[in-house]
Amino acid sequence: MNNAQFSADFFKKLPYKPFCSFGKGGKTLIRSKKHAIQYPLIQVNHIHTVQYLIFDIDAPDAYLHFFDENLPVPTWIAKNKKNGHCHVCYELKTPVCKTAHARLKPLRYLASIEYTYAKKLGADLRYTGLLTKNPIDRDWQVFLLNPVSFELDELADYVDLETKPKSTEEEKKEVSGLGRNCMLFDTIRFWAYKAIRECLGGSLDGWCTKVLNEALIVNGALLDPLPYSEVKATAKSIAKWVWRNHHSAEFDVWFGAKQSNRAKIGVTKGNVSKGGRARSQQYSDMRQEALKLHIMGKSIKEISEYLNVHRNSISNWVKHSKKHLT
């Protein structure tokens, strides 16, 4: 990889005013790209997107870890000349947004890749990735290894993906990296699906403020909280999406299906009586939902897929309901 070409491309992709620092213990500053590029530590990812996956490996042989684990050759490695500790970087071909509701699926995928790679590389799971060893600064020994950026699928092909288990509240607090963004999304959006019903008489601004306050509470419980700007952007994305879609059939079906699936899980675990009143009410609600969708013009197949119920049952429900309406 040509050094001059890499430097120009790297500079072009930097945030407009990146964070930068002279080192651990020093102040974190905000400077223009022209000045920030002169600091040994610099912010390479834009605040709301991930262009580079960076891994912080504190080991004297850190440079060899990707090779030992049969991982792809990184874009670059910046090595501390004194102790061998490294920042290992993989550049993404398509940046992934960390704050948009519509982009939650690729964010989950990337978070799983990040967590799996970090474990294999022996990287610091608590590293936030805000400041990175500047790959064009002379303080580090830099290896420009791979000029080809990566699609997420290409990175995933090298590993069996795993995610950090979050079965308890304490484990949720310990979530790290991009997993924090996913956890915040999941916690706030499921809260918002219910909370919106009590706020329909108010304003969008009031609703956004309510969602932001809830997001700040959830973020504050993390051992390594996300920056305020990320929390604010995430809360705004969720608030606007829920406000815009809460009245749609898709929202009702999605949320209703989720609720019915939880009820089914509860039955399998013995939390609800299989022949009792709860099950009867569950089917009654789903029958009503099926009829509503049928009246809206949805086909039996579409309703079956929405509600996760066999087509024969949907057909019977619709026919039975029509008889009572005539």
> If residue 292 lies in a helix (H) or strand (E), which one and from where to where?
helix 277-295
Number of domain units in the chain: 3
Find the helix or strand (DSSP H, E) in which 243 lies: helix 228-245
> With contact defined as beta carbons under 8 Å apart, do 257 and 306 qualify?
yes
Question: Which pLDDT score is estimated for 31?
Answer: 94
Q: Do residues 269 and 233 both lie within one domain? A: no
Residues 110, 178: one domain? Answer: no
Tell me the CATH number at 173.
1.10.340.50
Q: What is residue 272's predicted lDDT score, i.e. its pLDDT?
A: 44
Q: Is residue 119 part of a domain?
A: yes
- The answer to whether residues 174 and 210 belong to one domain is yes
Residue 187 lies in a domain: yes
Residues 145 and 83 reside in one and the same domain: yes
- In this structure, the answer to whether residues 191 and 119 fall within a common structural domain is no
> Is there a contact between 241 and 191 (Cβ–Cβ < 8 Å)?
no
Taking only the tens place, the pLDDT of each residue in 164-184 is 555 455 555 557 788 888 889
Instruction: Look at residue 161 and tell me if it is in a domain.
Output: no
Of 101, 129, 156, the last residue of a domain is 156
Please tell me the predicted confidence (pLDDT) of residue 281. 54
Task: Note the pLDDT of residue 175.
Answer: 78
By residue range, what is the domain housing residue 255? 249-325
Where a domain ends, among 227, 244, 261? Answer: 244
H helices of 60-176, in order, are 65-68, 104-121, 152-156, 169-173
Question: Which H or E run contains 300?
Answer: helix 300-307
**Residue 180 counted as domain residue:** yes
List the structure tokens of 126: 């608590």
Phi and psi dihedrals of 76, rounded to 5?
-155, 160
CB burial of residue 315 (10 Å; 0-12, 13-18, 19+) = middle
Residues 6+ apart with CB under 8 A from 129: 45, 54, 177
The whole-number pLDDT of residue 257 equals: 45
260-273: b (≥16 Cβ within 10 Å) or e: beebeeebeeeebe
Q: Are residues 192 and 98 in the same domain?
A: no
Q: Are residues 185 and 280 in the same domain?
A: no
* 212, part of any domain: yes
How far is the C-alpha of 192 from the C-alpha of 198, rounded, in Å?
A: 10
- Whether 162 is covered by a domain: the verdict is no
Q: Which of 57, 92, 56, 46 is nearest to 72 (CA)?
A: 92
Digitized pLDDT (tens) for each residue of the chain, 326 residues in all: 678 889 999 999 999 999 999 987 788 999 999 999 999 999 999 988 999 999 999 999 999 999 999 999 999 999 999 999 999 999 999 999 988 876 788 999 999 999 999 999 999 988 888 899 999 998 899 999 999 999 999 999 999 987 655 545 555 555 778 888 888 988 898 899 888 888 777 888 999 999 999 999 998 888 888 889 899 999 999 999 888 877 644 444 445 444 444 444 454 545 444 444 454 555 566 777 777 677 666 778 777 777 777 777 777 777 765 554 44
Query: Cα–Cα distances in Å, from 183 out to 4, 35, 123, 189, 255?
Result: 40, 35, 21, 10, 18
Which of 199, 219, 244 is the endpoint of a domain?
244
Residue 102 is predicted with a pLDDT of 64
In whole angstroms, give the CA distance from residue 42 to residue 56.
14
> Could you tell me how far CA 82 lies from the centroid of its own chain?
35
Asked whether residue 163 is assigned to any structural domain, the reply reads no
> Which residues on adjacent β-strands are paired with residue 78?
87, 142
What are the pLDDT digits (tens) for 75-128?
999 999 999 999 999 999 999 998 887 678 899 999 999 999 999 999 998 888
Q: Is residue 164 part of a domain?
A: no
239 and 259 inside one domain: no
Pairwise CA distance, residues 71 & 59, whole Å:
17
Residues 182 and 286 in one domain: no
Q: How many helices (H) and strands (E) does the chain have?
A: 13, 8
Same domain, 142 and 48: yes
Clarify whether residues 216 and 144 are in a common domain. Answer: no
Same domain, 238 and 260: no
The residue among 10, 283, 260 whose CA lies nearest residue 144 is: 10
Q: What is the residue-wise DSSP string for 107-140?
A: HHHHHHHHHHHHHHHT--TT---SSEE-TT-TTE
Nearest residue to 120 (alpha-carbon basis) of 155, 94, 93, 147: 155
